[in-house]
Amino acid sequence: MKNLPFNILYTISLLLLIPVLYSGCATVPITKRNQLNMISDRDITASSLQTYNELISTSALSNDWQAKRTLDKVGKRLSIATEELLTELNQTDEINYLDWEFNLIEDPDTVNAFCMPGGKIAVYTGLLAITKDENGLAAVVGHEIAHAVAKHGNERLSHLMMRDLGANILLGVLSRGESTARTQQVILTAYGLTTQVGAILPYSRLHESEADKLGMIIMAKAGYNPVHAVYLWERMNENSKTGMPEFISTHPNSQSRIENMKLFLPEAEKYYKP
């Protein structure tokens, strides 16, 4: 393979990856998008549980019983709605990996929440000033549950595995040629930047948009008006301090997100029963 042009080497790498791509295909509920999942649900759930338990054991949990009670109430309604939705979609096997848990972490400076694969959820108290009430909290938690239901964590890890595999294949091909170490480094750096900006980041933004849509459906099915998800992100936009261009961000910018969520509303409202 000596003296092959870079575009041919890149094509060879992609061709070698195709069998792996086809071996791990899955479909996202509701959106029906095909995705790459190379890690078993059992393995990623077990790993996530360990990470979650370590975080909770080393974090200060909130003593605000009223806020904790609200989180438990919202979480219970959303978890029931999620399992009902999966049942309606004939995906009852997915419920076997769900063991719901909701924790409120005392950290007024952190505006964040997450849901691990398996239904382990944490909300930081810094987020409560923006969620304001039960509806806003339902929008956040519904969004995080949607990430887990759509298996975005699995897909992201799978993409990183594919990127690293592609880099290893490319390095192996380059090392058999006559290119210098510096040339190899330049090519590998270009490959890394191309896959990050052209694949990893766009998929991260797609995940966020997909979780917005699915999260609105989950909160609507739980009896929360999905329009409150739009209101939440309008408040998020007002509190946003970042000016990062969208194409180098893992999240869509707030205004794009709000406009997309308004487009999602009619579908989400079909599931809404006050």
Q: Distance between CA 186 and CA 258 in Å, rounded?
A: 39
Residue labelled with tokens 């979480």: 75
| Residues ≥6 apart with Cβ < 8 Å to 132 | 235
At 90, phi and psi to the nearest 5?
60, 40
CA dihedral sign of residues 109, 152, 233, 77: negative
Residue type, 66: Q
Q: What is the full DSSP assignment across 183-239?
A: HHHHHHHHHHHHHIIIIIHHHHHHHHHHHHHHHHHHHHHTT--THHHHHHHHHHHHH
Q: Which is catalytic among the residues 144, 155, 208, 210?
A: 144
**Catalytic site residue 54?**
no
Helix (H) / strand (E) element for 54: namely helix 41-58
**Residues annotated as catalytic (active site), given as ranges:** 144
